[in-house]
Amino acid sequence: MFQKTGGKYAAKLEVADGKSFIFGKFTKVRFSEPVFHGSENSVLGWVLMTTIQYQDEKFLYAPDVQGPMCSYTLELILREKPEILMIGGPPLYLAGFRVKEENIQKGLKNLEKIVETVPLTILEHHVLRDKDWREKTKNVFEKTRECGHIIVTAAEFLGEKNVLLEAVRKQLFIEKPPSTEFQKWMRRNRTTKKHVKPPI
């Protein structure tokens, strides 16, 4: 799909899985092998983690690993030893009905292990979609403080205020509902929605 869209503008397309690329003299971009999108054998498939290393400084981006819930993914992150990690935490808002509670707890426990090792952790994605995310991750924050490390959101990292729209989606839907036309479009089947632009 990417080849048919944005990929057609690229001079070259290369599969990144497990590969490293050098830019200039000091910048190395390394991609992990595919890791589970969440727990082991997740039906959601796979994602790649990306390490950007400039001389001795390492930034690791681990999107959609959901904690990580998978022990092997945790092992890869700890082995990488980044100074800064941006990671997708567990989907707290899906606990008990879309995601097993035990997997959520495993993701939180693994996140505790990460903050013990990584000096600066930036939380993103799923974990911030729950309005009570800070309360539900209090053990992670306590562990971070004990180690003298830092855990923040991307907004906080930039010195900005958190505006977590997904966490208040239901409230926003009541206060500022979408147009009638958009709601009709939302009720259409998936196939139709792929071919008809939303009335925004």
> pLDDT tens digits for 87-119?
999 999 999 888 999 999 999 999 999 999 999
- pTM check: above 0.85: yes
Give yes or no: residues 101 and 192 share one domain.
Answer: no
Closest CA to 141 of 114, 164, 112, 110: 112
Give the pLDDT confidence of 16-71 residue by residue, as tens digits. Answer: 999 999 999 999 999 999 999 999 988 889 999 999 999 999 999 999 999 999 99
Contacts of 145 (CB under 8 A, 6+ apart): none
* Total number of residues shown for the chain: 200
Report if residue 123 sits inside a domain.
Answer: yes
* Token representation of residue 105: 């707890």
Report if residue 174 sits inside a domain.
Answer: yes
Give yes or no: residues 124 and 180 share one domain.
Answer: no
Say if residues 59 and 42 touch (Cβ distance below 8 Å). no
Q: How many other C-beta atoms lie within 10 A of the C-beta of residue 89? A: 29
Report if residue 12 sits inside a domain.
Answer: no
* Token representation of residue 148: 């003298």
